[in-house]
Chains A and B, each alone.
Chain A
Amino acid sequence: MIQFLEKIDIEALINAVNETLYMTSISFVFSIFIGLFIGVLLYLTSSDGLYSNKIINKIMDMIINVLRAIPFAILIIILFDLATLLTGSMLGATAALPALIIAASPVYARMCVIAFIEVDKGTIEASKSMGASNFEIIFKVLIPEASVALVSSASVLAISLISYTAIAGVIGSGGLGNYAYLYGFSRGNNAVLYTSTFLIVVIVFVVQFVSDYVIKKIDKR
């Protein structure tokens, strides 16, 4: 056991964990907001939405489908190039953020639309009949009534993001994926490889646990 631990550079490991948490949480927050925003727009412009608009709906739909069709490993290479051009630097956790957000936002937007479609049409209609404006309907009815599905989708998204950061890490953006690949796999150091994997699994479990807890709290259906 001691021997096993000796092979691990604790400081580097902690640093890797921090980087993973940093990448995941920043990209999570951004993709939740961007995804929710796009999701609301998609829902509103859909054929029986509050601001039905075929053209805008189709265009957004297409962009989302294209972004979702590009595998993350390829998307991040393309965007790394872009980031290098823009900032001159190539590596580091921050460099991975644009790719993570661009990959995750469309996914969450889709999940939001599904959540909104499941909101009872009658409830929306009732709030209309009480004189609610579209703005009030979105923020006081649609989102709260979809909250359970929105939270459970958010946890799926967070978990996807954790695995995306690992892929980003292999390409060179730091974090546990990077640590596992560079110090574990490349140097044949199994202790590092398994410890990193174990920590990623732990993070995923924590996310799942938190989400289950929140859902249990808010689900009054």
Chain B
Amino acid sequence: MIEFKNVYKTFKGKNDIHALNGVSLKIDDGLIYGVIGYSGAGKSTLVRIINQLENCSSGEVLIDGIDQSNLSGKQLRESRQKIGMIFQHFNLMWSRTVFENIEFPLEIAKVKKSERIKIVNELIAMVGLNGREFSYPSELSGGQKQRIGIARALANNPKILLCDEATSALDPETTDSILQLLQSINQKMNITIVMITHQMEVVQKICHKIAVMSDGKVVEVNTVKELFENPKHDVTKRFTQNLDGNVKIEQIKKELKDIYPFGQLLKLTFTGNTSSRPILAETIRQCKLDVSIVNSNITHSIEGPIGAMYVNMANGDATSYQQFIDMLKNEGVSVEIL
């Protein structure tokens, strides 16, 4: 278990920057734990404190009960070997081949050469880079580079995998494939994964639990489903509604109203407990309304489809509108009339 106890981090300078302002958080073993927040919220600082790339100004960070900030140099290096980390820009060594990059952490851990070869080959197969062992990173695509990063991070059989914006430099499809890989690693190897991102789509797909950060504090912690059903903090609301952090929700409503002056505008929120039947299509067919989808941002999480959809219904009367809304509500979709 990773445990933050009232952690503060201040970067001293001309103007001191308070990157973390009293974070307390428990991350249970075996989870995929998301940390989401806007730029500057302190996410990277939080995760870098776990493996002590940054030390905290006050408070404690415990891994399985051991305070990481009190370790000696040697103990810290050993502890780090059991915490893998992957990065937004991969941070591979250009001077080493794929094979040698993955071998690096094993050299650090003083693993015998014959053993190293065996482990590296297994890892290469696991991340699907067979045949590219002797290529150099510069010859590979971003997704492939991140696969090397993942293999490298797993080489010493870590208990924890830290991912700092690991998919932010990748296109949506590659992002999905990397997320799937991380998910299968979590399941097969029972590794705790801490995923930092500013993209809700990323955490909502695979995370069991999400911490929302704002201004150096954790403002809300919950499952994906609960965060979508019951967002409490403003930042959470902005993320679950998938709007840009700086745009007011009211503003968006007004804009949609301007574009669709006729009919009734609805916001449908799917929170994962809906069935896998094509609910929307069935409902539209039964109500015989003209329903157009204005905007949709639905993704599939471990708990089913999650996200918000804006639809506009037209060519009906108040009763048929109400009927449409009721039917959707019955299916577990929450409906908001705009």
Contacts and interface: CB of A to CB of B under 8 A. Distances in A.
A186 interface: no
Given A125-B53, A127-B104, A220-B138, A132 B94 contact: no
Interface stretch (B22-30, B81-89, B176-184, B282-290): B81-89
B96 to A, nearest CB: 7
A220 B85 contact: no
Contacts of A197: none
Contacts of B5: none
Residue of A123, A126, A127, A147 most packed against chain B (CB within 10 A)? A126
A127 B149 CA distance: 12
Which interface class (under 10, 10 to 19, 20 to 34, 35 or more) fits B? 20 to 34
Interface stretch (A58-66, A71-79, A137-145): A137-145
Nearest to A136: B108
A88 interface: no
Given A126-B87, A140-B104, A140-B107, A131 B81 contact: yes
A120 B92 CA distance: 9
Contact of B77 (A133, A144, A220): A133
Interface string B80-121: 110101010101111110000000110111000000000000
A132 B77 contact: yes
B260 interface: no
B91 A125 contact: yes
Given A129-B53, A130-B105, A145 B77 contact: no
B316 to A, nearest CB: 57
Interface string A40-77: 00000000000000000000000000000000000000
Given A128-B53, A129-B53, A220-B138, A123 B108 contact: no
Nearest to B139: A220
Contacts of B152: 130
Residue of B79, B93, B107, B162 most packed against chain A (CB within 10 A)? B93
Interface residues of A, number: 21
A216 interface: no
Contact of B91 (A126, A133, A221): A126
B122 interface: no
B80 A129 contact: yes
B78 to A, nearest CB: 7
B119 to A, nearest CB: 14
14 contacts: A125-B53, A125-B87, A126-B91, A129-B85, A130-B108, A131-B78, A131-B108, A133-B77, A141-B93, A144-B93, A145-B93, A145-B95, A220-B94, A220-B137
Given A131-B77, A133-B108, 14 more contacts: A120-B91, A122-B89, A126-B85, A126-B87, A130-B85, A130-B104, A130-B156, A131-B80, A132-B108, A145-B95, A147-B95, A220-B136, A220-B138, A221-B94
